[in-house]
Homo-oligomer: A and B are copies of this chain.
Amino acid sequence: MSEGERAEELTELVENNDLTGIRLWLAEHRPYEIADELSRMAGSQAIIPFRLLDKDRELEVFEELDPGQQQAILLGLRDTAFHEILEEMDPDDRARLIGEAPAKIATRALAGLSPAERRMTAALLGYPEDSVGRYMTPETVVLHRDLTVGRALEIVRAKGADAETIYTLPVVTDGRRLVGTVTLGDLVVNDARLLKDVVDVLAPRVRATHQAEDAARLMQEANLVSLPVVDSEDRFVGLLTFDDALELIEAADSEDMARQSGASPVGDHYVSVGVLRLVGARSVWLMLLIVAATLTVNVMQVYETTLEEVTALAVFVPMLIGTGGNVGAQSATAIVRALAVGEVRVRDLPRVIWKEARVGLLLGLMLAGLALAIGALLVGFQVAVVVAVSVIAICTWAAIIGSSMPLLARKVGVDPAVVSSPMVATLVDATGLIIYFSVARLILHI
């Protein structure tokens, strides 16, 4: 674990205020490795090694940090350094930082920018949060369709150094209307004389107001290194690049996972997030769910006489509730994911429910066998039959609930991931108990 040792080292060096040691450590590591270690420190600590970075690496490290850590670092910098970093950041990274920062930082940041950079930032900030417009880079080399390939290459050579990417080059006609794209590789390798003969007019494009996550998944499906972004009149406004796509997909998946467990997503690095923020992110759903669980208390009370008559019934309540919750969680998770990656659409609802109902039934039959054995062994055959029959019904029901709820959420425009496993489990709990006690009354004639 050389990685582990390295990390201890930097924290130790900072704690011992060993400036020479820190300088040496920084020289030996890559910007993303440095950012990774800084993310694990408190902001007040991270500023020490950050200030010791060479000017040219400072920016690279800064751009790799989480928004929270970026703000902490900025607060620790003097005016000159503060403005230098912001002026030189990629416009899309800067817009996101300013968009998320408290007003104090945002105002100071915007005020210090040069007019050109401020214009660019303001334009990006005009797009809705989570839209492609916030993530695209306007710093590209735009080529006119009527150019020759040779002239196009000359333009790339002349302007390429200022662009964030030159792998994909947007090709436009008058009024910056997007015709298509050409890759740098096509320009270099191709023998064609005219640009219009090599431009890919079928290259996918998205509107700047489009959901950023969807655009990233499109890039993955279509194997695109950059995706051209246009405004409502099909004018080119920027490129979404593969590194933003990778980041968007990872962040979206992190959010979905958190939501699936009934927590709000916390964007920042786990180690640097405080206890209170974690509590805040997790408490809302837990409180709603414990209130919803009052239903189970009600159901149990309704059947209290049944429980008193056959006390053996009570001992299987946790097992039945657990099993129903597990089956429901599996179905919900599968459908939430299939929706996220585009494998399932809302109109598939009947087909999905039919499939999941059969899956639930088969799982129920298998589990009923086990439940029958466990019940017969521990309590007696009659109660075991009740438990087994209930398992079949509960599993089928849980699979139907678990699979239909995310689809219904999407249908009414809610993020399907908020249909969390705990939410499905809580719903299945109360209804599962009703199934259990009804089956018991039928079979045991009570």
Q: Using known A-B contacts A157-B188, A296-B318, A341-B250, determine if residue A275 contacts B362 with beta carbons closer than 8 Å.
A: yes
A48-56, A72-80, A102-110, A420-428: which one contacts chain B? Answer: A420-428
**In chain A between 304 and 355, which residues have their CB closer than 8 angstroms to a CB of chain B?**
304, 307-308, 311, 314-319, 321-323, 325-327, 329-330, 332-338, 341-345, 347-348, 351, 355
Q: Which residues of B contact A293 (CB under 8 A)?
A: 318-319, 322-323
A269 to B341, CA, bound (A): 10
What's the minimum C-beta distance from A296 to chain B, rounded to whole angstroms?
A: 4
What's the minimum C-beta distance from A248 to chain B, rounded to whole angstroms?
A: 10
A367 touches B290 (CB 8 A): yes
Q: Which of B184, B245, B379, B425 contacts A188 (CB 8 A)?
A: B184
A318 touches B317 (CB 8 A): yes
A118-126, A174-182, A220-228: which one contacts chain B? Answer: A220-228
B225 touches A167 (CB 8 A): yes
Nearest to A304 among chain B residues (CB) is B311
**In chain A between 282 and 304, which residues have their CB closer than 8 angstroms to a CB of chain B?**
282-283, 285-287, 289-291, 293-294, 296-298, 300-301, 304
A166 to B433, CA, bound (A): 62
Nearest to A303 among chain B residues (CB) is B315
Nearest to A371 among chain B residues (CB) is B290
With an 8 A cutoff between CB atoms, is A208 at the interface? no
Q: Which of B261, B286, B296, B362 contacts A363 (CB 8 A)?
A: B286
B189 touches A289 (CB 8 A): no
| Residue interface bits A87-102, CB-to-B below 8 A is 1, else 0 | 0000000000000000
**In chain A between 356 and 379, which residues have their CB closer than 8 angstroms to a CB of chain B?**
358-359, 362-363, 366-367, 370-371, 374, 378-379
Q: Using known A-B contacts A30-B222, A363-B282, determine if residue A297 contacts B378 with beta carbons closer than 8 Å.
A: yes
Q: Which of B4, B247, B301 contacts A378 (CB 8 A)?
A: B301
Q: Which residues of B contact A275 (CB under 8 A)?
A: 355, 358-359, 362
Q: Give the interface size class of chain A.
A: 35 or more
Q: Which residues of B contact A282 (CB under 8 A)?
A: 327, 330, 359, 363
What's the minimum C-beta distance from A29 to chain B, rounded to whole angstroms?
A: 10
Q: Which residues of B contact A64 (CB under 8 A)?
A: 221
A315 touches B286 (CB 8 A): no
Q: Which of B188, B296, B347, B379 contacts A322 (CB 8 A)?
A: B296
B314 touches A300 (CB 8 A): yes
B261 touches A334 (CB 8 A): yes
B289 touches A422 (CB 8 A): no
A286 touches B166 (CB 8 A): no
| Residue interface bits A231-253, CB-to-B below 8 A is 1, else 0 | 00000000000110111011001
Between-chain CB contacts (< 8 Å), 24 pairs: A4-B347, A30-B202, A30-B204, A157-B188, A166-B189, A219-B246, A220-B246, A225-B243, A249-B249, A249-B250, A250-B253, A261-B421, A262-B329, A263-B330, A270-B335, A271-B344, A278-B334, A282-B363, A291-B370, A294-B319, A298-B378, A318-B318, A321-B322, A326-B425
**Top 4 nearest A-B pairs by Cβ distance?**
A261-B333, A300-B315, A296-B318, A270-B338
